[in-house]
Structure formats: C-alpha cells, structure tokens
Structure 1
Amino acid sequence: MTDQVTLYAFNCGWFQCNPGYFVEGDEGPSMRSPVPSYLITHPKGRALFDTGMGVRFRREMDNKLVEGELGLEWFEGMDIATRLKAIDVDPASIDWIVNSHLHIDHCGGNAHLPNATVIIQALEIEAARTSEQRYLYTPEDYDTGQPVKAIAGEHDLFGDGTVRIVPTYGHSPGHQSMIVKLAGGEVLLAGDCCYTERNLDVMVLPKATTDMELGMETYRRLDALRKSGTRILFGHDGKQWKQVTEGVPFVL
C-alpha cells in the first residue's frame, strides 16, 4: 500500500523573521522561510496538510519585506488552489483538510477546498474560538463552512496506518502533525510544533510556545523519531526547503 501513497510539497507564502525568533540568542540576517502545504494522495482519497496563507496577505513584488522586517508575504499564484491546479489536481477533489493548527498561516487556503472535511483537534477548535489573539486566530481563515471532524489524540486517516495524525502539543493548545508512510520510509510533517531543524538540534523552544512543558515533550518525541529514521519536514525551515522540489512526488 505504501507505494500507492504519494506526498507533494508546496509553498503557499513566506515568513520572514530574525534568527532569534526561532532560537533565542541566535543572531544574523533575516531568515525567509516557507509557509508549506502538503498534498497526500491515497487510493481512498486526497488530503492536504495545512493550506498556507490567504489572499488577504497579498503583496506586490515591489513591496517585498526588507531586511530586518518581521512579517508575512504572499504573492499572486501562491494560493493552494493554484498550486494544485499546476499539477492537474482539482481543488474540489480534496477530501480532507488536516490543519496542524488554526493560526492564520496554516489555514488561509481552506476556503479554496469546498468539498473537504476539516480534521482538527478539539482542543484547537476551542482555543481558536476563545482566543483574544485575533491576529493569530482569524475566523475568516478557519471558519469557512466545511464540515469539521473534531478529534482527540491520534487518528488513522485511511485506516491502514499509512497516514496518521498525531498530537504534538506545545506551540498551540491543540497542535497536531502528520506521519506519512511512503515506500522509502516515514515522513513527519511537523507544522509549527518545531519551526526548524536547528530548534531540534539544540532543543530550544521559541518564545511563541503556548505550553513550554508540552512543547519540550514534543521535541523529545521528535528527536526519538528522527533517531529511528523518520524524516522530519519542519514548519518554517528555509534552509531545508532549498532541498525540497515542489509539485513532484516526494522521495526519501
């Protein structure tokens, strides 16, 4: 079955920050990092893990972020619908949206996928609905009319162990990641539970962590998985992204 599961990576925006935003104490020039979305195809259906940013973040090319400026960028054609159409996948054919969490840069493309069911941790739905941080949790991004399947803990998406949703709490109250079993091994789509490989290397959580204790517990689990051979695709790792080819099946 694993040889029938494919994984595609897309960038649906840019996140620019100083190195210290990811790893406190790090210094250097601004880091321009991807806002990833991943398509998983399976004989039983199609799923997206995260959907990037929405059109409301659009900038013109002559209004790019300058060095040292913290912010988000989105240019014409970076929406998940355009990314999917580029590989001849109809956005209306997506069955499942698995949002790692409901921050604005992870569910901004949900509205482009009208026939999908959103799978999210119940803890995250509650956090989004009760948060006063509307710059992070914005209803126009996550409340887009699709059916919602609230889960608690792990969930086997297709019932055969090839695509598993796993809780990775810490960054947000109900953060979740996805483990995809490909022919060459397992890939963990981290979302924001771990921004970059360097975070895991030095075991340093960013300040943007809701629960430091749970976040460190998640890091220890990721470290064990990495040592056992699982490939981790980190949430906003510009250095790693240079090794990723968008729009083609991901191969280990």
Structure 2
Amino acid sequence: MSDTKVYLLDGGSLVLDGYHVFWNRGPGGEVRFPVYSILIEHAEGRFLIDTGYDYDHVMKVLPFEKPIQEKHQTIPGALALLGLEPKDIDVVVNSHFHFDHCGGNKYFPHAKKICHRTEVPQACNPQPFEHLGYSDLSFSAEA
C-alpha cells in the first residue's frame, strides 16, 4: 500500500421514535440514524475507525431501537465488499464506546485498539442517562 485510501463503510441504521430521541419531549415519528465506519489504508497499515453496532445486542438490550442492517452492512460484510477480512485490520480506533461505535470490536481480537484514555473509565461508570449508550461492553479493556 503506497497511496493512502479512505473508505466510508455503511453499517446500516438505527430507527428510533422521535419522542425518545429528544428526552421524551420531541415530536413523534421515526428518526433514522445512519451508522458508518471509516477504513484507512495507509503505508503503516489498515486503520478502522469505529465498528458499528451488533445487531443481536440491539435486539436483545435495546428493544425500542429498530436496527436496519443487511449482511453486507455488518462490519465483516462491509470489509468483504472491499476484498478484506477482519484479520486484515491492524488497528481499531474507537471514537468512544457507545454500542453503535464498538459493537463490531469482537471481530478484531488481534488488532491494536485505540481510544481516548478516559473513555474506558467513563464506559465502566457512566452517568445514569448514558447507561444504554454504553450497554455493549464487548470492547477490549486494553484500549
């Protein structure tokens, strides 16, 4: 890899009732949140920024959220569209550990993990209003 390449990976979306999106004060109706990851191919390796959500986790823990995700939108599926597998990723960078940013971390046990140093303690001891955001704690504590 000599030229740096950047890919936007479509991870599907999450649909919520607009009333809940705005702390039970907003208008009703569905609000769609797209979920993306970014792959950077660089001379020093392949870097994946965020890994999206885990469909099964959302269905089990967050029944009020409706995940819309096809197989090619899972992180392994999105990588496969580029001819890659999870083992081809060298570094996973999580912007933070909310479930829709780290749900695919489980596919990268071999990759180096990077996140802000205060994010692990924050995820392990969230504010009451953050509990559902930090509901998928499958991220690596090595981050």
Q: So what's the TM-score if we normalise by structure 2?
A: 0.76
Displacement of 1:140? 4.0
**Which residue number corresponds to residue 75 of structure 1?**
69
Displacement of 1:31? 2.6
Distance 1:127 1:46, change over 3 A: same
**Which residue number corresponds to residue 9 of structure 1?**
8
Displacement of 1:14? 1.2
Distance 1:122 1:58, change over 3 A: closer
Distance 1:141 1:19, change over 3 A: same
Q: So what's the TM-score if we normalise by structure 1?
A: 0.46
User: Matched residues in 2 for 1:55 and 1:71: separation?
Assistant: 11
- Residue 95 of structure 1 aligns to which amino acid in structure 2? D
Contact 1:96 1:118 in 2 (8 A): yes
- Residue 53 of structure 2 aligns to which amino acid in structure 1? M
User: Matched residues in 2 for 1:27 and 1:135: separation?
Assistant: 21
Distance 1:104 1:44, change over 3 A: same
1:32 aligns with 2:32: yes
Distance 1:50 1:27, change over 3 A: same
**Which residue number corresponds to residue 43 of structure 1?**
43
Distance 1:26 1:129, change over 3 A: closer
Q: Percent identity?
A: 30
Contact 2:15 2:33 in 1 (8 A): yes
User: Matched residues in 2 for 1:94 and 1:37: separation?
Assistant: 13
User: Matched residues in 1 for 2:58 and 2:65: separation?
Assistant: 12
Runs of 4+ in 1 over 3 A off after TM superposition: 19-22, 25-29
Paired residue secondary structure (1:126): helix
**Which residue number corresponds to residue 106 of structure 2?**
111
Contact 1:47 1:95 in 2 (8 A): yes
Contact 1:16 1:30 in 2 (8 A): yes
- Residue 15 of structure 1 aligns to which amino acid in structure 2? L
**Which residue number corresponds to residue 87 of structure 1?**
82
- Residue 142 of structure 1 aligns to which amino acid in structure 2? F
- Residue 117 of structure 1 aligns to which amino acid in structure 2? K
Paired residue secondary structure (1:92): helix
Q: Deviations over 1:71-118 (max 9, x none)?
A: 240434131011101210121011111111001110000011222111
Contact 1:5 1:40 in 2 (8 A): yes
Aligned residues: 134
Contact 2:57 2:136 in 1 (8 A): no
Distance 1:58 1:134, change over 3 A: closer
Q: Which has the larger radius of gyration?
A: 1
Paired residue secondary structure (1:101): coil
**Which residue number corresponds to residue 135 of structure 1?**
132
Runs of at least 5 residues in structure 1 that lack an aligned partner in the other structure? 60-69, 149-252
User: Matched residues in 2 for 1:57 and 1:138: separation?
Assistant: 9
What's the RMSD between the two structures over aligned residues? 3.0
- Residue 48 of structure 2 aligns to which amino acid in structure 1? L
User: Matched residues in 2 for 1:52 and 1:142: separation?
Assistant: 12
